[in-house]
Amino acid sequence: MDQQHKTYMTLPGMHAGMLSADELERLAKLARDYKIPGIKITSAQRIALLGMESEHLNALQQDLHIDSRPPHSHKRVHYVQACPGKTWCKYGVTETQGIAKKIEQLELDGPLPNKVKIGISGCRMCCSESWLRDIGLIGERKGWRVIFGGNAAGRPRIGEELASGLSEEEALELIRKVLNFYTREGRGKLRTARLVERIGMDAVRQAVLGPQGVQSFKSAHTKAEQGQRDNREDYMKSVRKIIQIDEDLCDGCGLCVPDCAEGSLRIVDGKARLVADKLCDGLGACLGSCPTGALKIIEREADEFDEEAVEAYLAAEKQTTVASSATLGCGCPSSNLQTFQAMQDLRPAGPGLSLCQSANTPNKLTPGVAGSALTHWPVQIRLIPPTAPFLENADLLVAADCTALAYANLHQDYIQGRTVMMGCPKFDDQELYVERFTEIFKTRKLKSLTILIMEVPCCHSMLQIIKRALDAAKPSFPVQYAVVSLQGEIQERQSL
């Protein structure tokens, strides 16, 4: 019933969120016949028919074969939510739909005290939120892990493990036992999460596993938590999907690094490397950025993906970035901000010109005449803070390090009249670059941005870095880039 108590919501029965084309067409026909104004896919993978008039409610329920009693009042769980599983998902390690139907058909000893929600996930990514359901199942290589006592409502609670490494038959029997235990102990419409809070998880394990089962559970977890490194690593490893890098194909371009949100990839000695197995989620977000096909997803024994380890690693990397980008306390000249006149401004007076007239001549480098057009220091991206005064109202040039050697007319064609930031996207910290440019683009009123890179693949990651910063800052100044060939010629010029 809605808040005005005028219309009703109806939830047709669905098996673990799966519908056939015929069933979907039948629901659409009923929605049209009964003039139902709203249809909603719920978070529980069910379809809700909204805005039902009271006079048509009974007829619609009969057409949908819906029992007017709550599911838990006649020995059934409230709903079973399941991911597509191994049958339909490339990441699934177990099939989910079959066990979902068997759970729906379980015969219990009596009516359940309250609704019971079950979430079945075919892998450890837990798309069905198994840890937040009354009963959760997680498919693993070694078997099913069964969770009990989770809740995602106003008082959320993460469930606790009952057992792991179970066959389908063992998992079903354990679910039947724990539901019958809940039927006996969950008095006063107590949800499973509140029951566990009241009596403790040890009491639940004792009741459904028995003394021998509890001892086996404790032994398995004691082994995993022992200080001996080999036992701990054996427990945590499993055969799963993970990135593999073909070093023969990898040219070290670094395009994959910014596409890995977990920070598991890094350029080391000119090649992409996996920092640690536990930092790679195996989803392959980096695959599309590799121009040589050096990356692919394989299955091998590896440490389980660890989200907490990822957060800790990224936080540590950010701290390192902040520390390395700070001005050196020793007053090292490489980090002291300076502005000065270009060397060409200091040339002697030309024929027939006084020193005053020469000084007022526009600063234009003459081809073939030596002289630097640089007007500030430092020039390295890592050493220039976003607050540097020479960035304000600047025409900014971001140049890859190697362009200074490859392009002979760099000062005349690109540095003259511009503020310069130089760096190497292959060997430097790309995330630092993204953060630095994003802050500059947001806070400094740049007039234009020019990017100068080499034709080699590793240099093109500079464009990706700039694009990420532009997307984050959304500035309005014009942006263009140029590509320098190995022979020192401008190979390409385009707007970005």
Check residue 99 and give its pLDDT.
94
Confirm whether 11 is domain-assigned. yes
Same domain, 28 and 128: no
Residue tagged 């010029």 (tokens): 493
Same domain, 310 and 364: no
pLDDT reading at 104 higher than 60: yes
Check residue 418 and give its pLDDT.
95
pLDDT reading at 482 higher than 60: yes
256-269: per-residue pLDDT in tens?
887 888 889 988 87
Confirm whether 373 is domain-assigned. yes
Same domain, 219 and 304: no
Check residue 381 and give its pLDDT.
93
And the tokens for 275? 């920092």
pLDDT reading at 276 higher than 80: yes
Domain boundary among 223, 248, 280: 223
284-320: per-residue pLDDT in tens?
888 888 888 999 999 988 888 888 888 888 888 777 6
pLDDT reading at 457 higher than 70: yes
Same domain, 166 and 253: no
Mean pLDDT of the chain: 82
Q: Where residue 347 sits, what CATH number does that domain have?
A: 3.40.50
459-477: per-residue pLDDT in tens?
889 999 999 999 999 999 9
Check residue 417 and give its pLDDT.
92
Check residue 230 and give its pLDDT.
43
Q: Where residue 316 sits, what CATH number does that domain have?
A: 3.30.70.20
Domain containing 257: what range? 237-321
Question: What share of residues in the chain are helix, strand, coil (percent, to 5)?
Answer: 40, 20, 40
Confirm whether 408 is domain-assigned. yes
Same domain, 145 and 248: no
pLDDT reading at 224 higher than 90: no
Rounded to a whole number of angstroms, the CA Rg of the chain reads: 32
Three-state secondary-structure class, residue 239: strand
Confirm whether 284 is domain-assigned. yes
**Mean pLDDT value across residues 442-458:** 93
Contact between 237 and 253 under an 8 Å Cβ cutoff? The reply is no
Check residue 238 and give its pLDDT.
74
Same domain, 356 and 275: no
Same domain, 105 and 173: yes
Domain boundary among 321, 340, 361: 321
Check residue 343 and give its pLDDT.
59
pLDDT reading at 227 higher than 50: no
More confident residue, 16 or 478: 478
DSSP annotation string for 399-464: EETTHHHH-TTHIIIIITTSEEEEE-TTTS-HHHHHHHHHHHHHHS--SEEEEEEESSGGGGHHHH
How far apart (Å, rounded) are the C-alpha atoms in residues 404 and 411? 9
366-381: per-residue pLDDT in tens?
555 557 899 999 999 9
Confirm whether 370 is domain-assigned. yes
How many percent of the chain have pLDDT more than 70? 82
Same domain, 317 and 458: no
Same domain, 395 and 464: yes
Check residue 391 and give its pLDDT.
93
Q: What is the DSSP letter of 120?
A: E
Confirm whether 74 is domain-assigned. no
The count of domains in the chain is 4
Same domain, 343 and 395: yes
More confident residue, 364 or 180: 180
Check residue 219 and give its pLDDT.
61
Confirm whether 206 is domain-assigned. yes
Same domain, 345 and 296: no
pLDDT reading at 270 higher than 70: yes
Domain boundary among 176, 198, 223: 223
Same domain, 111 and 198: yes
Q: Where residue 162 sits, what CATH number does that domain have?
A: 3.30.413.10
318-363: per-residue pLDDT in tens?
776 555 544 444 445 555 778 777 655 544 445 554 444 444 444 4
Confirm whether 152 is domain-assigned. yes
